[in-house]
Amino acid sequence: MTGQPKFELFAFWRTSATYRVRVALNLKGLQADERFINIDAGDQRSEAYLKINPLGGIPTLVEAGHPPLTQSSAILEFLDEIHPSPPLLPADPHGRARVRGIAAMLTADTHPMVTPRIRKYLTTTGGFNDAAFRAWQQHWFTTGLAAVEQRLASEPATGKFCHGDQPTIADICLASIIAVMRVFKMSVPDTPTIDRIIATCDAHDAFAKADPYKQAGAPKV
Ligand SMILES: N[C@@H](CCC(=O)N[C@@H](CS)C(=O)NCC(=O)O)C(=O)O
C-alpha cells in the first residue's frame, strides 16, 4: 500500500493487548511487521525490550522515525486518528464516552488482574498454586464480564455490536478478553448479549484474522 506508515509491532501470539492492535490494524487495512517477544521465555523483561516499553508489556507499536507507542488503548486511538476510516469511536461525545467506558471496564479493570506478571507474583511471592491462580482469573473475568453484560443488555445504544451496528474500540476490547479466555479454556456463564456480539465479531474478517491461533509462534491446535 503506498503512503502507509511503516510499523513494527512487538507482539506475542496469544496476548490480549496485542490482539486489540491486530484487530484495529485489520479494520483499517494497515499492516505491521511483527517482532516476536516470547512472554513464556521472559523476553518482555529483557534489557532491550524494557528500553522501548519500560513496564515490560506487550504490545509496542513503532513507527519509523517516531518514539515507541505503548498501551494498546492509546495505540487504538492513535490508529483511529491517523486513519479515521472506518471509525473506531462514535461521532457523538456521549457515545464516545460510553465506548471508552466499556473498553476501560475490560482493559483497565479486568485484564490487568490476570497478566503474566501478576501470575508470577502471586505464584512466587503470594503463596498461590496454579489452582488458586485459576480461581483468581475466573473471579476477575467473571466480575468484569458480568458488569459489561449488565450494561450491554440494558442500554439502548447496544446494537449488533457493543455500540450500534459497527465495531468500535469496545468490541475490540471485549473480543480481546474472550480471545485470551479461549486460549486458557475459560468461560463465564450467563452472558447472552456478550455471546451474541462475540459471534458477530467472530464472523468479521478483521477479528477472525487476529485469532491468536492464526499468529506466528502459536501452537498447532
Ligand atoms: N495495559 C497494557 C497491558 C500490556 C500487558 O500487560 N500485556 C501483557 C500481555 S496481554 C504482557 O505483556 N504481559 C507481560 C507480563 O505480564 O509480564 C496494554 O493495554 O498495552
Residue ranges in the chain modelled with pLDDT below 70 = 1-2
- Supply the pLDDT for residue 1: 46
In sequence order, which ranges of the chain are alpha helices (DSSP H)?
16-28, 47-52, 72-82, 93-107, 116-124, 130-154, 169-183, 192-202, 205-208
- Supply the pLDDT for residue 2: 54
Task: Summarize pLDDT for 146-173 with one digit per residue, the tens.
Answer: 999 999 999 999 999 999 999 999 999 9
Collapsed DSSP state (helix, strand, coil) of residue 111: helix
Phi then psi dihedrals of residue 181, to 5 deg: -65, -35
> Which of the 8 DSSP states describes residue 218?
P
Please state, rounded to an integer, the average pLDDT across all residues of the chain: 97
Helix (H) / strand (E) containing 11? strand 7-11
- Considering the domain delimited by 93-208, tell me its CATH architecture: Up-down Bundle (1.20)
Q: Measure 212 CA to ligand 1 centroid, in angstroms.
A: 15
Specify the pairing of strand 33-36 against strand 60-63: unpaired
| Mutational pocket test of ligand 1: of 111, 124, 172, the residue with most ligand atoms within 8 Å of the beta carbon | 111
Domain ranges of the chain: 7-86, 93-208
* Ligand 1 atom having least distance to the Cα of 16: 10
Per DSSP, what are the bridge partners of residue 62?
8
Q: Measure 69 CA to ligand 1 centroid, in angstroms.
A: 13
Q: Which CATH number fits domain 7-86: 3.40.630.30, 3.40.30.10, 3.40.50.300, 3.40.50.2300?
A: 3.40.30.10
Instruction: Tell me how far apart the terminal alpha carbons of the chain are, to the nearest angstrom.
Output: 33
Q: Which three cell numbers stand for residue 42?
A: 521472559
Instruction: Show the ligand 1 pocket: residues with CB < 6 angstroms.
Output: 15-17, 39, 44, 56-58, 71-73, 107, 115-117
C-alpha 147/C-alpha 149 separation (Å) is: 5
Name the residue with the closest Cα to ligand 1, atom 1.
71
Q: Which three cell numbers stand for residue 200?
A: 458477530
Q: Measure 3 CA to ligand 1 centroid, in angstroms.
A: 30
* Ligand 1 atom having least distance to the Cα of 70: 20
C-alpha 165/C-alpha 144 separation (Å) is: 23
